[in-house]
């Protein structure tokens, strides 16, 4: 029971931390924030490859690879709607007061799906949480700069925060979803592969690597392997 609460609460805490970070830092220009983003991408990629990927390939059905590719393509579609906030990029539009419905839908679907495999693997949970913190920070900055009312900002972030726990809850309580878990997890793998690799190649100016970024990437991979 304690493990279940851990799974449901941590993603919500990650969004709260991201919002707090957005109050003190400028995610678009902070070097520390970019390093956190690179670390999250490396950790998420390593956990996906080392643990989640071998797990789904234990299934005898060779169609798993198709679902991984579908997940990758699906994430590209979601990012067309979200403008890339999942991997740390979002284009701001000044004083707009229009509620970003498409952004909410795309991020909610992404977050809902990433909650499905979390019940098995605390390493993956940690990867999702670390990834969600910079995403929530960037999203918070966007919502505040878009001049939405405070109540709408809270509603958006609250809805976003609840989607990952909801995905975990549905996986654990809806028998139909449990029966198709390997295929859903394969889709999530495709999503994670796209997001994490995009983070690693886009979190530096001109796609260049420096010593600090290389160090946090190696640290993220090593932690995913040894913890």
Q: Tens-of-pLDDT digits for all 227 residues of the chain?
A: 445 677 889 999 999 998 888 887 765 556 777 788 888 889 989 989 988 888 888 877 668 899 999 999 999 998 887 766 766 555 555 555 677 788 888 889 999 999 998 865 567 888 888 888 888 888 888 887 777 788 888 899 999 999 999 999 998 888 888 888 889 999 999 999 998 888 887 655 554 557 788 888 888 888 888 76
Full-model pTM: 0.86
Tell me the Ramachandran region of residue 94: left when phi exceeds 0, alpha when psi lies from -120 to 50, beta otherwise: left
CA 65/CA 182 separation, integer angstroms? 11
pLDDT of residue 200: 81
pLDDT of residue 126: 85
pLDDT of residue 1: 47
pLDDT of residue 2: 44
Around 12, how many Cα atoms within 13 Å sit in the side-chain half-sphere? 14
pLDDT of residue 103: 85
CA 81/CA 183 separation, integer angstroms? 24
CA 203/CA 87 separation, integer angstroms? 8
The stretches of 116-180 forming alpha helices (DSSP H) are 122-145, 150-173, 175-179
């Amino acid at each position: 029971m304690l493990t279940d609460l851990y799974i449901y609460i941590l993603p919500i805490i990650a969004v709260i931390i991201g919002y707090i970070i957005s109050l003190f830092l400028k995610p678009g220009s902070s070097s520390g924030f970019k390093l956190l983003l690179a670390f999250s991408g490396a950790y998420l990629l390593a956990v996906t490859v080392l643990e989640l990927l071998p797990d789904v390939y234990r299934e005898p059905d060779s169609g798993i690879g198709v679902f991984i590719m579908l997940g990758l393509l699906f994430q590209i579609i979601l990012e067309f709607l979200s403008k890339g906030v999942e991997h740390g990029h979002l284009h701001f539009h000044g004083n707009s007061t229009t509620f970003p419905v498409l952004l909410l839908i795309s991020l909610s679907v992404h977050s809902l799906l990433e909650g499905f495999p979390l019940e098995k693997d605390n390493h993956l949970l940690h990867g999702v949480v670390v990834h969600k913190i910079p995403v929530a920070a960037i999203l918070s900055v966007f919502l505040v700069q878009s001049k939405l009312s405070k109540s709408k900002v809270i509603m958006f972030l609250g809805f976003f925060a609840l989607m990952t726990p909801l995905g975990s809850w549905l996986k654990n309580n809806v028998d139909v979803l449990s029966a198709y878990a390997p295929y859903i997890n394969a889709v999530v793998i495709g999503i994670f592969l796209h997001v994490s690799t995009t983070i690693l190649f886009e979190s530096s100016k001109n796609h260049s690597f420096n010593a600090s970024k290389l160090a946090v990437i190696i640290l993220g991979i090593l932690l995913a392997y040894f913890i």
